[in-house]
Amino acid sequence: AGYGQCKMAAGGAADAQARFGHSVKGLLTEKVTSCGTDVIALTKQVLKGSRSAELLGQAARNMVMQEDAILHSEDSLRKMAIITTHLQYQ
């Protein structure tokens, strides 16, 4: 009877080991899936950040161009005011 019980205990231990191995594989699969999802989210965030930096740079360039146009217009208005003053004297 002792031999049969020992064999059953060994079989039970092997069964428990198999369940444990299956459980560990399941946990690893969950962790890998979770990490993959996190990497995808991080990649999207980095791409969004680089796009934001690109848009910010473009906005800065546009602002500089507008500033140049405003300064040129201001200079032209000043010259027209001088011409208007001279024409009034004539």
Q: What angle do CA 26, 33, 30 make, to 5 degrees?
A: 25
Rounded CA-CA distance 10/48 in Å is 57
Per-residue pLDDT tens over the stretch 14-62: 676 777 667 778 888 888 888 888 888 888 888 887 788 888 889 989 9
Secondary structure of residue 90 in the 3-state scheme: coil
Secondary structure of residue 1 in the 3-state scheme: coil
State whether 56 and 34 are in the same domain.
no
State whether 4 and 21 are in the same domain.
yes
Domain extent at residue 9: 1-49
* pTM (2 d.p.): 0.45
Count of structural domains within the chain: 2
State whether 40 and 79 are in the same domain.
no
State whether 4 and 32 are in the same domain.
yes
Q: What angle do CA 6, 11, 15 make, to 5 degrees?
A: 145
